[in-house]
A and B are shown apart, each in its own frame.
Chain A
Amino acid sequence: MQNAIIALADGLVLSGKLIGSPGTIGGELVFNTSMTGYQETLTDPSYAGEIITFTFPLIGNYGWTERDDQSRSIYANGIVVSSLSDAKDNWMAVKSLSDRLAEEDKRGIEGVDTRVITQRLRSAGAMNCIITSELTESEAVAAAQDWPDLSVQDLVGSVTCKEAYDWDEPLEDGIEHPEPRLKIAAFDYGIKFGILRAMRDRGMIARVFPANARAEDVRAWKPDGIFLSNGPGDPKTCIDYLRDTILDLGSNIPMMGICLGHQLIGLSFGLDTYKLKFGHRGANHPVKDLENGRVHITSQNHGYAVNAPPDDHDLVLTHVNVNDGSVEGFRHRELPLFSVQYHPEGCPGPLDSLYLFDVFAKMMAGS
């Protein structure tokens, strides 16, 4: 295998083996601490523009399965792993992770000390990096420093669907699927299929709309609820063209938001967002529900967060992160609207919060 290096914008350079074809790729370097679910992570459009360091040292162990993709392609710019496995022995696997990376011509680096990278990101914060098999160390560091920042890229625009479509994936055998009773208009800012599947499992049928769909077009479909999806990048890069639609629909139809959707609701209702030092990416984040004191372990993937609403704000804080106290969810004081920063659908990660989709269903039934 060919040698490669990963160069961070702050000058840290590690050498390893190249994954994929010779060349150079850059992106914002982040780390994810999940021990399973690399497939769901890699296909999560929220990772667009990023290079993912997996802290778990063996990646690829169970191959690549047919039904766990969260979108049609791999959105991350690249991957950083300690050891890459070519296995595809799990009964669900149809190919190996390496096969899939090759299909998408994705690049990465293997055999580097991912713990060192994680520690660097933890102390210095998320930063850009370059993985290259052709540049020298100093060239690569310079290229990392020049790599465009997430805050100047409209990544939502690049990952959203071009036209609305109905979620009609064939249903899986062996599980009961209730008859569809509710129509959900799901805004695709980079939506994960796991969300659509979770809704379908609860009798919700979704039409997926492009991020910039107009409120009246959505209303014309007569949805029972509006769903704002997860997605990549800085919410402020797209809020300007989304705010009105969100406020319009949110004031009239029950609305649920997840991740970027949650941040956009926050921004729309006048709260501010900020960039976390190194984000929350993993499957073990404890979130406390302030309304009943319960703690749930959640799946998370976000680099930005919403500021806590003041006491008299229309949005009422409902969930906080047990580790750092950051905002994890709020609901509207009057409107049937709520959102969470984390991923109730898991994919990958715990399914403790799937009940939120039931909450959404009840909200629609009640309105």
Chain B
Amino acid sequence: MPRNANIKKVMVIGSGPIVIGQAAEFDYAGSQACRALREEGVEVVLINSNPATIMTDVDTADRVYIEPMDAAHIEAIIAREKPDGILPTLGGQTGLNLAVEIWEAGIPQKYGINLLGTTFESIKQAEDRELFKKTMQAIDMPIPASTIATSMEESLEFADKLGFPLIIRPAYTLGGSGGGIAYNFGEFRHIVSTGIIASRTSQILIEECVVGWKEVEYEVMRDAADNCITVCNMENLDAMGVHTGDSMVVAPSLTLTDREYQMLRSASLAIIRKLKICGGCNVQFALSPKDLRYYVIEVNPRVSRSSALASKATGYPIARAAAKIALGLNLDEITNAVTGKTKASFEPALDYVVVKIPRWPFDKFHDANKTLGTQMKATGEVMSIDRTFKGAFLKALSALEVKLVSFRTQHFAHFLDEDLRSFLSVPTDGRIFAIFEALYRGWDPYDLSKLTYIDPFFINHFNELIGEEILARSIYADRDDEAQMSLFNNKVSTESEEEQEPELTRAHLNHWKRLGLTDCMIGGMISKSEDEVNNLRMNQDVPIQAVYKEVDTCAAEFEASSPYYYATFEKTGDLKAIESANGLNRRVLVLGGGAIRIGQGIEFDYCITHALMALTKMGYEAVIVNNNPETVSTDFDLSDALFFEPLTTESVLDIIAQIKPLGVVAQFGGQTSINLAIPLWQHGVNILGTTAGSIEVTEDRKLFDALMGELGILRPIGITTTDYDAAPELGNELKYPVLVRPSFVLGGRAMEIIYSSEGMRNYILRNRYAFRNHPLLIDQYHPGIELEIDLVSDGETVIIPGVMEHIERAGVHSGDSMAVYPPQSVSQSFIDRIVEMSTAIARRINARGMINIQFVLSAGKLYVLEVNPRASRTVPFISKVTGLPLIPMAMHAVMGGRLAELPGIEAGLYPPQDLVAVKAPVFSFSKMQEVDVGLGPEMKSTGEVMGIARDYPTALAKAMAAAGIPIPENVEGLGVLITLADTDKDDGLSVARRLAFLGTKVYATEGTARILNEAGIPAEAVKKLHEGRPHIADHVESGAFKLVVNTISDNKAAEVDGLKIRRSAVEHNIPVITSLDTARALLSVLEGRRSRKPGTTITAINDVPVRWQEMSFAR
């Protein structure tokens, strides 16, 4: 059917902030779909509270609303924009849930508009556990024995009947949050109670658990004419029991016979037909490893993380096709954009193997429970492509920035056999390395397979790799250096007696590279450095180097025009010849950001994407290397060439050797890409923009201190020591409070603010064992207002779009604090000083491109905390609210242009816009058990939202609402628990007083309550955990508190209680505020409510005045 001409304006619901279970994949899907809709001449209205996305760019949709994603705001937008339909299947579970909510509230019906593509009924059938069960039974689809429960009693009854293990899944949640596997009644009670709370409908599904079965997924498409295809299937390496988002995945399936493959494929088609989904859908199966039995586990009637992976794995743009189907087009009417010849009604054929490995945040959340189960814990993932499973798997490990020199890792080499065995029996993030160790010890692969439920096919592949290492070590480890060199020396005369030897070793090297071993790993095997191995293979008569093959959706059956490549060590590649006959090389390689992780989120993909678009506009050939399948930057039509490869020196150098770019852009992909600048530069690569030398100045403590001294800029004084016992005294010298941390990465642990020498002694006592003789860094800590800027510089002209003021004081990681633009409490003289200092720094280091600088204003003095010679996480936010697209400007400078040449550009600080925007962090604490939710110097948030309004309180209110801190209309009688650290008692009084004045019911522990009462503030005392019952946690459980204000002290004993209170609150969905600044911000919102009538205001970002228009400035 041709597209429905009545649809002229479509509302797209985004997925909101990045949280565990819902990451950048929805920006990828959403922005691809928006482009596809506009291709068809449809006007797109978007709601998404997440400013750090391409989706919320004014270029992506016609009307962009960065507003809280709730019914009230959606209704206000519908009323204003009057769309012809709503597309609910692009915004992940958040978008889908919101669509269900507004439909049930009758909002779209009120305005006479429909859901496009998949209908409300279809969504309900897939999402509502009871309906889903009935629907599956109606088409004879096997599903695990299960029951729906809404209470503990019902749940226990079922468990009695069926026995253990059992899986508990809450309805309508993302990433399986609140669910889990229970092996006994104790675990069962716990998971059931959290699950009921997590579900939007207080519904949980309890089902038979087929731990150990294979988990296989199919991505299916269907159009209104009932044509169906499967885009791809995927097999989880980790069997049933590990959430698919936490599982290593291979595509296509490798251990399924055609009969098994087709059985599940046919089932997928039957399911999507029965559900009448129009668009994309994901079906998850459990497949018995012993017979042809299978179960349908889950159906997601929307684009998903898996569909993003499937799109990148096959080259088939699922979201694009889904959007066109929603407009009424059929699959055979949609062109396959990759081949340009075939239609969307076909199934991709792969001639390579794809491996996905998740990226977990355990480096930041050291105390988290690392066991993998039904609740997803990964923040992101990497994908890799090669011609073999081994190659793709090893490449994925490198893409995770894991640098192996041996399959035997230090950590596991020390395990006793029995400890290794028990470690292997539980899925964790580190289990793969334990498998390597076991194989290294010669354990039977089949035995390991039984222990881990990982198919022997994969274990055998790992075993072969380990066999290679052991063999290589046995051949090469004993030889001395010279003997080895002569072996590799290709120039050895063929007349020599050792004629066979050089051949043999070249063959070895060739063989290892084909297997996918990195230079670093080979170096480890033959006692050489990574660079030496690289030289050995590249300095041969015929170099052993990577070639690049195309991802073309059709296994080379048709000629494709997709410049989407992966490396492999075969002889022939698909790269088009380098056209530089006229000597005019305009090829630029942009380094991506890799997996989404805490501290390096979607913001960087925003920057990379804009860098690519800017290069294209400037007339350059934009080439990207990245390995994150969830991203916009790896979309097939965003660059002139896409290399899906690890971001390592080796991989990037290999690409450079083939495509010979004029330079490399390293400043947009976060720490991952900037970390490559110096090593690449040392290999003679031209780093475009700020030079590697300048980057080094900002990163080296000594050089940086010298620079600040020279410019007369204050920065917190720091000391480095290895004499831990002297630390308390050194703290005195610097004057407490101080910020202390070990000088090496310790998985994010042990960075703390210490207020006294006693606190320092405690700190040393607690952490001494972990320091392992590494130096300790102690810095002055200046409590005060933190301020931040992103600037664009060409070394001379410096442009500052605006200043952001952090709401939480310095000490809370800048990524975890709320920030407001423009500043609300800083006088102009300090703003002027910030501009002065920033300009001086940028000029002094001859910065070309983006710089991020963080300041603290403490006791009337401005200090520079950090200078980051790269784009930062605030770039998308500040670009959007100031109306200044920073990345295109920065690219102009990076490519050597003068900013003064840009028409309409102004140097210095732009005057503030007539609006207030607040950025608020979003956390995923409910997904990570045992993690402390308290804010501190280590970043913990996974995403962010924005509130925009004419005035500060409204912007704040919106930001908080969007971040999930509910702002009740009426606070009269609302229970608030206040527990304060000693250092906060004075400040806390005023907060408590204001809360009480608003009419809330304040609860506090006995000590605090007494202080409050003495100050004339009504507060009810509650018992601490060890003071008998009911204690604080009981009150949390009973729902007495609707808000918890709990500030954190450096007294760890008091903290044990604090931690428990915070965790318990998080698990009961009660907002926890751990900084008095956040509490004050909330108070100003609540107090503002009393004087103004609450109402819903909305602002389209498209209406923010644009102050500089990016244009084609081809040269």
Q: How far, in angstroms, from A352 to B58 measured CA to CA in the complex?
A: 43
Q: How far, in angstroms, from A169 to B678 measured CA to CA in the complex?
A: 69
Q: How far, in angstroms, from A226 to B115 measured CA to CA in the complex?
A: 49
Whether the Cβ atoms of A55 and B556 lie closer than 8 Å is yes
Whether the Cβ atoms of B558 and A349 lie closer than 8 Å is no
Q: How far, in angstroms, from A40 to B556 measured CA to CA in the complex?
A: 22
Tell me if B346 is interfacial: C-beta within 8 Å of chain A: yes
Whether the Cβ atoms of B572 and A113 lie closer than 8 Å is yes
Whether the Cβ atoms of A36 and B257 lie closer than 8 Å is yes
Central interface residue in B347, B557, B571, by most chain A CB within 10 Å = B557
Given A286-B332, A295-B345, answer yes or no on A58-B257 (Cβ-Cβ < 8 Å). Answer: no
Min CB gap B349→A, angstroms: 4
Tell me if A128 is interfacial: C-beta within 8 Å of chain B: no
Min CB gap B577→A, angstroms: 15
Tell me if A122 is interfacial: C-beta within 8 Å of chain B: yes
Min CB gap B828→A, angstroms: 64
Interface size class of B (residues with CB under 8 A): 35 or more
Tell me if A293 is interfacial: C-beta within 8 Å of chain B: yes
Q: How far, in angstroms, from A55 to B558 measured CA to CA in the complex?
A: 13
Whether the Cβ atoms of B353 and A352 lie closer than 8 Å is no
Min CB gap A11→B, angstroms: 15
Tell me if B212 is interfacial: C-beta within 8 Å of chain A: no
Binary interface encoding of chain A residues 270-297 relative to chain B, with 1 for a CB under 8 A from any of its CBs, else 0 = 0000000000001111101000011101
Q: Given the complex, which residues of A lie within 8 Å of B320, measured CB to CB?
A: none
Q: Given the complex, which residues of B lie within 8 Å of A341, measured CB to CB?
A: none
Q: How far, in angstroms, from A124 to B331 measured CA to CA in the complex?
A: 31
Tell me if B315 is interfacial: C-beta within 8 Å of chain A: no
Interface residues of A in 313-352 (CB under 8 A from B): 322-323, 346-352
Tell me if A252 is interfacial: C-beta within 8 Å of chain B: no
Whether the Cβ atoms of B457 and A89 lie closer than 8 Å is yes
Q: Given the complex, which residues of B lie within 8 Å of A347, measured CB to CB?
A: 258
Q: How far, in angstroms, from A90 to B254 measured CA to CA in the complex?
A: 10
Q: Given the complex, which residues of A lie within 8 Å of B549, measured CB to CB?
A: 115
Q: Output the nearest chain A residue to B389 by Cβ-Cβ distance.
A: A58
Whether the Cβ atoms of B387 and A33 lie closer than 8 Å is no
Q: How far, in angstroms, from A201 to B731 measured CA to CA in the complex?
A: 83
Binary interface encoding of chain B residues 221-248 relative to chain A, with 1 for a CB under 8 A from any of its CBs, else 0 = 0000111111000000000000000000
Q: Given the complex, which residues of A lie within 8 Å of B505, measured CB to CB?
A: none
Binary interface encoding of chain A residues 61-105 relative to chain B, with 1 for a CB under 8 A from any of its CBs, else 0 = 110010110000000000000110101011110000000000000
Tell me if A35 is interfacial: C-beta within 8 Å of chain B: yes
Q: How far, in angstroms, from A106 to B258 measured CA to CA in the complex?
A: 22
Q: How far, in angstroms, from A62 to B254 measured CA to CA in the complex?
A: 8
Q: Given the complex, which residues of B lie within 8 Å of A40, measured CB to CB?
A: 258
Whether the Cβ atoms of B258 and A56 lie closer than 8 Å is no
Q: How far, in angstroms, from A53 to B508 measured CA to CA in the complex?
A: 27
Binary interface encoding of chain B residues 250-280 relative to chain A, with 1 for a CB under 8 A from any of its CBs, else 0 = 0011111111111001100100000000000
Whether the Cβ atoms of A297 and B291 lie closer than 8 Å is no
Whether the Cβ atoms of B229 and A56 lie closer than 8 Å is no
Given A33-B557, A118-B351, A122-B558, answer yes or no on A90-B255 (Cβ-Cβ < 8 Å). Answer: yes
Q: Given the complex, which residues of A lie within 8 Å of B748, measured CB to CB?
A: none
Min CB gap A280→B, angstroms: 9
Q: Output the nearest chain A residue to B455 by Cβ-Cβ distance.
A: A89
Tell me if A174 is interfacial: C-beta within 8 Å of chain B: yes
Whether the Cβ atoms of B258 and A39 lie closer than 8 Å is yes
Tell me if A116 is interfacial: C-beta within 8 Å of chain B: yes
Given A35-B252, A89-B457, answer yes or no on A58-B388 (Cβ-Cβ < 8 Å). Answer: yes
Tell me if B290 is interfacial: C-beta within 8 Å of chain A: yes
Q: How far, in angstroms, from A61 to B458 measured CA to CA in the complex?
A: 10
Q: Output the nearest chain A residue to B557 by Cβ-Cβ distance.
A: A33
Tell me if A119 is interfacial: C-beta within 8 Å of chain B: yes
Q: How far, in angstroms, from A68 to B227 measured CA to CA in the complex?
A: 28
Central interface residue in B228, B351, B352, B559, by most chain A CB within 10 Å = B351
Q: Output the nearest chain B residue to A92 by Cβ-Cβ distance.
A: B257
Given A283-B347, A284-B349, answer yes or no on A33-B257 (Cβ-Cβ < 8 Å). Answer: no
Given A61-B457, A295-B345, answer yes or no on A90-B257 (Cβ-Cβ < 8 Å). Answer: yes
Q: Given the complex, which residues of B lie within 8 Å of A92, measured CB to CB?
A: 257, 259-260
Tell me if B1088 is interfacial: C-beta within 8 Å of chain A: no
Q: How far, in angstroms, from A350 to B228 measured CA to CA in the complex?
A: 11
Q: Given the complex, which residues of A lie within 8 Å of B230, measured CB to CB?
A: 297
Q: How far, in angstroms, from A288 to B229 measured CA to CA in the complex?
A: 13
Central interface residue in B230, B352, B559, by most chain A CB within 10 Å = B352
Tell me if B343 is interfacial: C-beta within 8 Å of chain A: yes
Tell me if B637 is interfacial: C-beta within 8 Å of chain A: no
Interface residues of A in 243-269 (CB under 8 A from B): none
Q: Given the complex, which residues of B lie within 8 Å of A36, measured CB to CB?
A: 252-253, 256-258, 261-262
Q: How far, in angstroms, from A346 to B457 measured CA to CA in the complex?
A: 25
Tell me if A223 is interfacial: C-beta within 8 Å of chain B: no
Pick from B258, B330, B557, B570: contact of A113, CB under 8 Å? B570
Q: Given the complex, which residues of B lie within 8 Å of A293, measured CB to CB?
A: 225, 330
Q: Given the complex, which residues of B lie within 8 Å of A283, measured CB to CB?
A: 347, 349
Q: Given the complex, which residues of B lie within 8 Å of A55, measured CB to CB?
A: 349, 351, 555-557
Q: How far, in angstroms, from A57 to B569 measured CA to CA in the complex?
A: 13
Q: How far, in angstroms, from A116 to B549 measured CA to CA in the complex?
A: 10
Min CB gap B6→A, angstroms: 21
Q: Given the complex, which residues of A lie within 8 Å of B556, measured CB to CB?
A: 55, 115, 118-119, 122
Q: Given the complex, which residues of B lie within 8 Å of A67, measured CB to CB?
A: 259
Q: Given the complex, which residues of A lie within 8 Å of B259, measured CB to CB?
A: 65, 67-68, 92
Given A33-B555, A118-B557, A322-B346, answer yes or no on A61-B291 (Cβ-Cβ < 8 Å). Answer: no
Min CB gap A193→B, angstroms: 13
Tell me if B138 is interfacial: C-beta within 8 Å of chain A: no
Whether the Cβ atoms of B460 and A87 lie closer than 8 Å is yes
Tell me if A114 is interfacial: C-beta within 8 Å of chain B: yes
Whether the Cβ atoms of B349 and A34 lie closer than 8 Å is yes
Tell me if B64 is interfacial: C-beta within 8 Å of chain A: no
Min CB gap B262→A, angstroms: 5
Q: Output the nearest chain B residue to A293 by Cβ-Cβ distance.
A: B225
Whether the Cβ atoms of A297 and B388 lie closer than 8 Å is no
Whether the Cβ atoms of B349 and A282 lie closer than 8 Å is yes
Tell me if B348 is interfacial: C-beta within 8 Å of chain A: yes
Tell me if B581 is interfacial: C-beta within 8 Å of chain A: no
Tell me if B341 is interfacial: C-beta within 8 Å of chain A: yes
Pick from B330, B387, B559: contact of A122, CB under 8 Å? B559
Given A122-B557, A122-B558, A295-B227, answer yes or no on A349-B258 (Cβ-Cβ < 8 Å). Answer: yes
Given A286-B332, A323-B341, answer yes or no on A61-B572 (Cβ-Cβ < 8 Å). Answer: no
Binary interface encoding of chain B residues 531-564 relative to chain A, with 1 for a CB under 8 A from any of its CBs, else 0 = 0000000000000000001000011111100000
Q: How far, in angstroms, from A56 to B251 measured CA to CA in the complex?
A: 12
Given A37-B258, A91-B291, A347-B258, answer yes or no on A56-B343 (Cβ-Cβ < 8 Å). Answer: no
Pick from B226, B228, B342: contact of A323, CB under 8 Å? B342
Binary interface encoding of chain A residues 13-27 relative to chain B, with 1 for a CB under 8 A from any of its CBs, else 0 = 000000000000000
Given A36-B256, A323-B346, answer yes or no on A57-B353 (Cβ-Cβ < 8 Å). Answer: yes
Whether the Cβ atoms of B262 and A295 lie closer than 8 Å is no
Q: Given the complex, which residues of A lie within 8 Å of B389, measured CB to CB?
A: 58
Whether the Cβ atoms of A33 and B229 lie closer than 8 Å is no
Q: Output the nearest chain B residue to A35 by Cβ-Cβ distance.
A: B252
Q: How far, in angstroms, from A115 to B555 measured CA to CA in the complex?
A: 7
Tell me if B292 is interfacial: C-beta within 8 Å of chain A: yes
Given A284-B349, A285-B346, A294-B225, answer yes or no on A348-B254 (Cβ-Cβ < 8 Å). Answer: no
Q: Given the complex, which residues of A lie within 8 Å of B571, measured CB to CB?
A: 113, 116
Q: How far, in angstroms, from A47 to B574 measured CA to CA in the complex?
A: 29
13 pairs, A vs B, C-beta closer than 8 Å: A33-B351, A35-B349, A56-B350, A61-B457, A65-B259, A82-B388, A174-B292, A283-B347, A288-B332, A297-B229, A297-B345, A322-B342, A352-B269
Q: A40-B258, A118-B557, A282-B555 are in contact. List 7 more A-B contacts (CB 8 A).
A: A35-B349, A39-B257, A90-B256, A115-B549, A284-B347, A295-B330, A351-B266
Q: Which 4 A-B pairs have the closest CB atoms?
A: A37-B258, A55-B555, A348-B258, A33-B349
Q: Which residues of B contact A (CB under 8 A)?
A: 225-230, 252-262, 265-266, 269, 289-292, 330-332, 341-343, 345-353, 387-389, 455-457, 460, 549, 554-559, 570-572, 574
